[in-house]
Structure 1
Amino acid sequence: MLNPQESVLIIVDVQGKLAKMMRNAQALEDNISTLIEAATLFNIPILWLEQLPDKLGATSDKLREQLVAAHQPIAKAHFSAWHAPEFRAALTATARNNVLLAGIETHICVYQTCRDLLSNQYQVHVIADAVSSRTAENRSLGIEMMLQHGALLNNTESLLFELQQEAKGERFKALLKLIK
């Protein structure tokens, strides 16, 4: 079972026009938004990445508004976040080994980040309804490739209840509001 004290949420490159071109873009943004709110409820650190933000633009407005008060984006040029020293330092500083992975594109940046995380002894949980690509085929292949290399698959709602583990308390009530 996932434990909030051992988890970190990583959001990969949900930026500009590209984010709007993703298959099921609105559902993707809504699920990532829910993950951000849940991470806050569980005190789970969030690492937020942007691929070449000067060229691809900033993170989508809705997500940026949620993140900017407590987090700063980490810019990267490589497809994998692992190659950004600032990312590795921030991840190491969390002292957490369970990565909750969301973002775009599933078959490129999310996949390559996942591969590097797995190679460096992180347990990666791909949040299937919080990753996307421009085509359904590329999304599916990206997920399949990550699973073949040892990633675990989850979805937003299952993840929230796995982290919560019991149907009581104020946090549970707040989680119910997030999914309704």
Structure 2
Amino acid sequence: MLCRKNTGLILVDIQGKLADIVYDSDALMDQTAKLIQGAQLLNLPILWLEQTPDKIGSTQAQIANLMASQIPIKKHTFSAVGAAEFVAALEQTGVENWLICGIETHICVYQTAMQLLELGYKVEVVVDCVSSRSLFNKELAITKLLANGASTSSLEMCLYELVADSTAPEFKDILKLTK
């Protein structure tokens, strides 16, 4: 069960032209924006990643605007765990459960999630907030992650699990996001 005291969000590489050509890109952007807003309402730590932004481009504007108070962690490895700055930020949060979203599901999301699992973290892939250029590769990555100990969730499922109570002060704002 997710608990907001022990859960964070990892935002993986929603950048450049690639963000426009992944499967169901518009839905991915809308759902991910809602996920970020929900995580912010619940005061979850958010780790924001960019893969070689000098070559791929910066984070898509709709997403970057929501993250304006943070600076992305730049990486060159496909797995974020290969970036020392990410590992330091990860450890600093003290969080054990990580929601993960972004692109591409079968490359950077997959490799990051697998290495987080190897390090003993719990990982939930927010399936309506990840994508790849092909639906096949997205589905293959999710299947393989499930077989290796990751869990799956959706935008609504994880946000309602985290808010937990309709009398919580954040509930009405979460409800607005998900309608």
- For the superposition of Structure 1 and Structure 2, which TM-score range results when normalised by the shorter chain? over 0.9
Q: Which residue of 1 aligns with 2:52?
A: 52
Matches for 1:29-108 after TM superposition, within 5 Å: 29-69=29-69, 71-108=70-107
**1:166 Cα deviation after fit:** 1.4
Q: Find the residue that maps to 2:170 and give its secondary structure.
A: helix
- Give, in angstroms, the shift of residue 36 of structure 1: 0.8
Q: Match for 1:51: what amino acid?
A: Q
- CA distance in 2 between counterparts of 1:74 and 1:68 reads 13
Provide the TM-score with structure 1 as the length reference. 0.98
Root-mean-square deviation (CA, aligned residues, Å) is 0.7
Separation of aligned partners in 2, 1:119 and 1:170: 36
Shift, 1:169, TM fit: 3.6
Give how far 1:105 is off: 0.4
Distance between the aligned counterparts of 1:51 and 1:158, measured in 2? 28
Match of 1:146 in 2: 145
1:141-180 matched pairs, under 5 angstroms: 141-180=140-179
Give the drift of 1:164.
1.0
Deviation, 1:170, is 3.0
Give the percent of matched residue pairs that are identical in Structure 1 and Structure 2. 46
Matched, 1:111 2:110: yes
Q: Secondary structure at the match of 1:48?
A: strand
In structure 1, what residue type is equivalent to 2:161? E
Q: Which runs of 5+ in 2 are unaligned?
A: none
Deviations 1:51-106 (A, max 9, x none): 0000000000010010022x110000010000000000000000000000000000
| Structure 1 position 157, deviation (Å) | 0.4
Deviation at 1:168, TM superposition (A): 1.9
